[in-house]
Amino acid sequence: MVNSSRQIKLKSEVVEQLDNFKIIESETYNEVVSRLIEDKLELNQETKDLLNERINALKKGKTKLLTSEQIIAEMK
């Protein structure tokens, strides 16, 4: 697949929802959408629950950002 960019139009409500899915402020919309697609296609419910728990904790400032390796280690 060729690495190319396209411009798309999104309603402001969709942009707000994407903003809510950002793990960190600097995460791009491309990264958010890619993660959401990956979550939908590949992750089981336990992993999704753990990620949502981490996202909510991050938003509330109750935890630090973990690497994927740290998250996987916690799941074992």
Whether 19 shows a pLDDT value over 90: the answer reads yes
Q: How confident is the model at residue 68 (pLDDT cuts 50, 70, 90)?
A: confident
54-73 b/e (C-beta count within 10 Å ≥ 16 → b): beeebeeeeeeeeeeeeeee
Q: Is the pTM of this model over 0.75?
A: no
CA max distance for the chain:
41
User: Rounded CA gap, 40 and 56, in Å?
Assistant: 19
Q: Render pLDDT for 26-64 as a digit per residue (tens, 0 to 9).
A: 999 999 999 888 877 766 778 778 888 878 888 888 777
Residue 58: which residues within 8 A CB-CB, separation 6 or more?
23, 24, 65
